[in-house]
Structure formats: C-alpha cells, structure tokens
Amino acid sequence: MADKTLWNLNLLINNPSEENINALVKECEEENNNFVTKWKPRNDYLTDPYVMFEALSDLEKLNRKQGTLSPASYYYWLKLEIDKNNAEIKSAINKLTLKAVELENKIIFFTHKISRIKKRIQQIFLQSKVLEEFHFFLENLFKEGKYLLSEKEEKILAVKAKTSMYNWQEMIESLLSRESAKVLTDGKLVEKDFSSILSLITNEDQKTRDFAAKAFNSILKKHSDVAEIEINSILEDKLNNDILRKTKRPDEIRHLADGIDSDIVDTLIKTVKNKFDISKEYYKFKAEVLNKKYLEFHERNIPVGKLSKKITYNEAQKIVKIVFGKLSPVFEEIFARFSENGQIDVYPKKGKVSGAFCAHDLKNYPVYVLLNYTDTINDVLTLAHEMGHAIHFELAKQCNSLYYGASTATAEVASTFMEDFTLKELLNILPNKDSFTLLMHKLDDDISTIQRQVALYLFEKDLHKSFREKGYLSKKQIGEIFLDNLSSYLGPAVNLSKGAENWWIYISHIRNFFYVYSYASGALISKSIQTKYKKNELKIESYINFLQKGESQSIKNLFENLELNITQKEFWLEGLDNISEILNRVKSLKGAN
C-alpha cells in the first residue's frame, strides 16, 4: 500500500517513463506550434472584438493543460523539492527549462502585440460585451505595455532569466538542504538535517535550542561568502531589468504583477511600521515571562509554557478536519481528498527543502502541499495554513485558465483564515491550562507574519537602495542592513546575537522580490473577514465565491465585494488592534496565574 504521507506524483503523470515524458513534451510542442501557426500571421484579432474573443479562447484552452511543458516541468520541479541534490533531476529540469523558454518565446508575440494596441482600440475592447470574460486579462496586458520592451528584447530577457537569477536561488537552497550537523536531542548528540535543525531552534529546552542555533549559524556562516555573491548578482540583474523597463521604484513591477496599487502597499507598510511598538511590547513581556533579561535572536519564537502533549500528524489531521468541516463541507472534502490521494508530503528528510509550501501549476493539474512535520503546535497550524492555500487553488479552478491561481496579494488571506480558525479549535479542545501557551504562540505567529514581514519588506527596500548607490554590498554591509531593519520591530528586549547577521541567507522569499508584504496584508485582511463572519455579516458562501474568482478581478474590487476597503489606514489599524487585544488578554491570564 502506498504511503499517504508522501507525494503521489502519479496523479500528475501516471507513468513517468522517459518515453512518456518525451511524448508529453512533444504533445506540448505541437499544441504550441498549432497556436503559433494559426495566430502569428494574423493581425485581425488586434482590431476586431469577435476575432479577439476567438484568439483568447484558443489561448485559454492552451493554458488549461499545456502551457510550456506542463506537466513534465511541474513533475520534475516537485521531484527536486524532495530531493534537492539529485543531479539527474536537475539535468532533466535544465533541458525542460530550455525547451520551455523556446516555446514561451514562440508565443510571446501574442500578448506582446495585444499590449501595444492603440489606446482607442483598447477602450473599444474593454467596453465590449463580447470580451467581457477577458476584460481583466486585457486590462492587465494594456497596463503592462508601458513596461514592455521590443519582442526581441523580451525574448532575450526570458532566455537569461534562469541563469541570471533562478539558478542563483536554486544554488543557495541546494547548498543548505544538503547540510546536516550533530545537535542535542533528548540529551544525546544526533545527526539532523537542515530543516530539523531549524525546527530545534525553537525547542523548549534551552540547551537543545542553543546547540541547534550554534549549528544553524555555523551552516549559514559557511555559505555566507557564496550568498554574498548570489544576492549581489540577483540585485544587479533586478537593477538592469528595472533600467530597461524604466520603472520608478524597485517594487513597482511586483505591485503591477499582483494587481495592487502601490499606494495601498505603501499605506499598509507605513501603518504597520508605526505600530512596531506592539511587537516591542510583546517581546519585552515574553522575556519577563521567561525570567530573562532579554531574548537571544534565535529565541524570539520559542514556546512559552508547554502543551499537555505533542500533536502527532494523525491527530493534526483530525483537528484540521473538524475545523474545515465546521466552516464548510467544501473545505472538509478537499482536505480529505488531499490526505487520501497523497497530495501532502509530510515529514522532513535529508535533501528535502526546508519549510512548507503549497504548489500549483495549470488548472488541470493537481495541487500539492509540502510540510516538514515534527509534532509541534506550529506544525498543526502550518498544515491548516498550507491547506488554506490548497483550497484556494482548488476553488480557483472554477474560473478560466487565464485567471487560475491566486495573486500574491490574495493568497495569504485563505491560508491565515484557516490557520486562525485552527488555533481557535486548539483553544477549545486542549485543557484550559494550555490557553496561555496557545495565545502566546498566536502572538508569535501574528507578529512574525505581520511586523516581521513588514520589517523584511523594508530590508529589501534598503537593500536595493544601497546596492544601487554602492554598486556592490559586502556580506557585512548586508548583515548590518538586515539587523537594522529587524531591530526596528524587535526592540531592545531581543538581543541581536552573533550569527544573526547571516539569517537573511536562508530566507528565500526575499529573492522573490517584494513578495513578503502579502503575508502582512493577508493576515490583516483575514482578520477582518473572520470578524465579519463571526458577526454574521459575511456568509461562508460569499467567502467561497471570493476564492473561486482566482485572479479575475483587481485586488481592490475583490475585497470591495466582501465590503472591505483596503485603501484606508484605518482598515489596517483594525487588524493591528486585534493583536493588541490578544496581548492584553495574555497579560491578564499571566496575572491570574
């Protein structure tokens, strides 16, 4: 019987033999070539709404199951995430990537031509009832036209993207994933992989976590020279791309891609930064609870108190199933299917990427969740978090393939929504004595998701600014910028101990430029949705409808449909006030004890 705690990639490709993979690649090439043959010689779709509808319908069909080498490239990427140092898989990915870029460049003419349509015709298309289904897709293409280079130049940028950026990122992840060290576990020295070492840093036993932190810092220091070259290389590549596209600010393209106004992101960042006193107050309180003068940098997320017992993965499944079932049978069914079908890879192992994520590709292919489960509270919440993403991606399959997925600005809403309800369930089912511990964990999580991610966003802004002023940044300079921004939300109660200056090395999301704001926005928006739901001002059907829309509307409109106005600082302050309320509650619980 197949192990259901491992990915079942047969759902994606039933027989992944070399012959079948080659057949899939050939089929993909043929579909792409058919599209190119039909539309490249023509320009009538650029002026006639009816012909444009036919052309976009063809693109939508192509994007359902083929795209550029899906599912072959998706299959090998998933394989690599659980076996980061497999040279054969890397070889296959490199070959497929070259082929994918070739196919992408063949069809780039289509969206490129559409983005350059004259303003007068753009308005005709946007007002056309015939093209109503594709309105938002066209609107985005017309906005992107401002930043596009010539078709030939865009092809060059596509060709160089892997070697000038993605390979660098892959290198750092690969180097870290192959690391292991002897750490203290249950009083014994045991060899542990990188992900497990990272998990032990928050162990309740001080000797265990200090030992793990020392090993973790040593690994990061070992790779710091390489990481210095890596980050400078991708910063330079980003600068060159921004110069070519004539952007006004480094985060401009991110906001455009996410369909969110820069003004909204700026308001979010400024509002949270002005409330960094909440996180500073929390860490001061946490240090007092732990009878410490201050927390070491690696101790900021250690658990306060101890739960009655560890939570196994089987128990975590039951808890999450209950939570999802209470909210909607739709959520419960999706979770049951993922658990039964082998769409969740559960436990850590050497060579497997650290952390957790939810992976999706095209509309017609399965979604997968990766965990590194080690029986902690955080692991239970991570399961709920990643399944929130998975549910979002599953429900988004209701829209057409051009809108399939979730914008960065909406993705974290579904995940934190499920995570928060799971925490509430833990508060209900675990003994009362665990409430203080769980709420302290909730504060750890909220502050890491909101204040920390805003600090990291500000770190990115300073990083790009400094690089563009100096031309190159040493690891010492990068570390100083990192610690300066982290200290702004941590405050004096957290000691930026030796080794902390290198922690930027393992944070993969800062390589996905300016992505991290979405964690903060998602958490705060999720809090507002939860509040409306609890007050019966929002039905779960409306929330499901929001998830089903995928990327078919602007961020502003998606949330306006839920009667949320994310343009105002007052909106973000409401969510931040919720964190203050939880902090006051745990202070009172501590006083009562």
* Model confidence at 309: pLDDT above 90: no
Give the pLDDT confidence score for residue 369 in this predicted structure.
98
Rounded to an integer, what distance in angstroms lies between the CA atom of residue 143 and that of residue 140? 5
Give the pLDDT confidence score for residue 151 in this predicted structure.
84
Residues 6+ apart with CB under 8 A from 326: 421, 425
Q: Which of 474, 476, 496, 498 is nearest to 486 (CA)?
A: 496
Q: Is 51 exposed, middle or buried (0-12, 13-18, 19+ CB in 10 A)?
A: middle
Token code pair at residue 447:
């502050």
Q: Which of 514, 481, 506 is nearest to 230 (CA)?
A: 506
Taking only the tens place, the pLDDT of each residue in 37-60 is: 999 999 999 999 999 999 999 999
* Model confidence at 567: pLDDT above 70: yes
Q: Hey, where are the domains in the chain?
A: 16-146, 247-308+430-593, 309-429
* Model confidence at 219: pLDDT above 90: yes
Specify the residue for token string 């070519």: 244
Question: How far does the chain reach from its first CA to its final CA, in angstroms?
Answer: 50
* Model confidence at 563: pLDDT above 70: yes
Q: What is the mean pLDDT of residues 192-216?
A: 91
Q: In degrees rounded to 5, what are phi and psi of residue 97? A: -65, -45
Q: Is 14 exposed, middle or buried (0-12, 13-18, 19+ CB in 10 A)?
A: exposed
Taking only the tens place, the pLDDT of each residue in 426-458 is: 988 888 778 888 899 889 989 999 999 999 999
Kindly report the pTM of this predicted structure: 0.83
Cα 331 to the chain's mean position, in Å? Answer: 20
Instruction: Name the 3-class secondary structure at 565.
Output: coil
Token code pair at residue 530:
């939860």
Q: What is the mean pLDDT of residues 141-147?
A: 91
Per CATH, the architecture of 309-429 is what? 3-Layer(aba) Sandwich (3.40)
Confidence of residue 158 (pLDDT cuts 50, 70, 90): confident
Q: Which of 440, 443, 445, 447 is nearest to 488 (CA)?
A: 447
Token code pair at residue 114:
């559409």
- Taken as a whole, the chain contains a residue count of 593
Q: Is 30 exposed, middle or buried (0-12, 13-18, 19+ CB in 10 A)?
A: exposed
Query: In percent, how much of the chain has pLDDT > 90?
Result: 74
Confirm if 116 and 45 have CB atoms less than 8 A apart: no
Give the pLDDT confidence score for residue 431 in this predicted structure.
82
Rounded to an integer, what distance in angstroms lies between the CA atom of residue 93 and that of residue 9? 16
Q: Which residues pair with 23 in a beta bridge?
A: none
Rounded to an integer, what distance in angstroms lies between the CA atom of residue 361 and that of residue 162? 18
The superfamily CATH assigns to domain 247-308+430-593 is: Oligoendopeptidase f, C-terminal domain (1.10.1370.20)
* Model confidence at 402: pLDDT above 60: yes
Confidence of residue 494 (pLDDT cuts 50, 70, 90): very high
* Model confidence at 224: pLDDT above 90: yes
Confidence of residue 109 (pLDDT cuts 50, 70, 90): very high
* Model confidence at 246: pLDDT above 70: yes
Half-sphere exposure of 321 (CA within 13 A, CB side): 12
Q: What is the mean pLDDT of residues 155-168?
A: 84
Taking only the tens place, the pLDDT of each residue in 14-24 is: 999 999 999 99
Residue type, 216: F
Asked if CATH classification 3.30.70.260 holds for the domain at 16-146, the reply, yes or no, is no
Q: In degrees rounded to 5, what are phi and psi of residue 312? A: -70, 170
The region, left, alpha or beta by phi > 0 then psi within -120 to 50, assigned to residue 360 is beta
* Model confidence at 499: pLDDT above 90: yes
Instruction: Name the 3-class secondary structure at 269.
Output: helix
Taking only the tens place, the pLDDT of each residue in 373-393 is: 999 888 999 999 999 999 999
Give the pLDDT confidence score for residue 334 in this predicted structure.
98
Give the pLDDT confidence score for residue 592 in this predicted structure.
55
* Model confidence at 67: pLDDT above 70: no
DSSP string of 81-129, one letter each residue? HT-TT-HHHHHHHHHHHHHHHHHHHHHHHHHHHHHT--HHHHHHHHH-S
Instruction: Return the number of other C-beta atoms located less than 10 Å from residue 550's C-beta.
Output: 25
Query: In percent, how much of the chain has pLDDT > 70?
Result: 99
Q: What is the mean pLDDT of residues 184-198?
A: 88
Give the pLDDT confidence score for residue 84 in this predicted structure.
86
Taking only the tens place, the pLDDT of each residue in 81-101 is: 999 889 999 999 989 988 888
Give the pLDDT confidence score for residue 593 in this predicted structure.
54
Instruction: Name the 3-class secondary structure at 39.
Output: helix
Give the pLDDT confidence score for residue 64 in this predicted structure.
87
Q: Which residues pair with 296 in a beta bridge?
A: 495
Give the pLDDT confidence score for residue 258 in this predicted structure.
86
